[in-house]
Amino acid sequence: MDFQVKFKILFPYLKSKTKFKISFLNKFIALCYNKNMSKGQVMLLTVLVIGGLLLGASAIAGLMMVYQLRQASDVVNSTKAIFAADTGIEWELYRMFKNSNYAKPVMTNQADFSTTVYGGNTVKSIGSSNRSSRAFEMTLQ
């Protein structure tokens, strides 16, 4: 609907009062021009919103990548924790079948383990080294 068609539709209404006619016509023309200007504002707002969403998604993806890299670079501590958990299982098995008073072994690589025996036949061992923890569970049948 172009400007002339809009003006022809409103023209019979504008004949009634001269003073009102001029101010209404000026407002109508300003409204038509503002619609064209508001299209640019909507486009700018859309670009800003999409940019913000992309920035937020990139920040979350970057944070997840940092956590994955931290976990992957901690392979040494993870390996120490696995071997500590295995040591805990073997220590509990030795205590069950050989010597129940055998002292807890001391690890030379700053790793540690804790063991729990459930029902006399299930052993759970959790090995830890720095921020890494790994667990084994063994059930005797």
pTM of the model: 0.53
Domain count, the chain: 2
Between 137 and 44, the more confident residue is 137
Segments forming the whole domain that contains residue 17: 3-72
Mean pLDDT of 99-108: 88
Q: Which of 72, 100, 125 is the last residue of a domain?
A: 72
For 72, the enclosing helix (H) or strand (E) is helix 18-73
Q: Which of 24, 55, 72 is the last residue of a domain?
A: 72
Same-domain check for residues 67 and 8 = yes
| pLDDT at site 35 | 59
Q: Which of 72, 94, 113 is the last residue of a domain?
A: 72
The β-bridge relationship of strands 132-139 and 112-118 is unpaired
Say how far residue 117 (Cα) sits from the centre of its chain.
37
pLDDT band at 100 (very low <50, low <70, confident <90, very high): confident
Same-domain check for residues 85 and 40 = no
| pLDDT at site 99 | 85
Same-domain check for residues 13 and 30 = yes
Same-domain check for residues 101 and 40 = no
HEC secondary structure over 83-133: HHHHHHHHHHHHHHHCCCCCCCCCCCCCCEEEEEEECCCEEEEEEEECCEE
Same-domain check for residues 67 and 79 = no
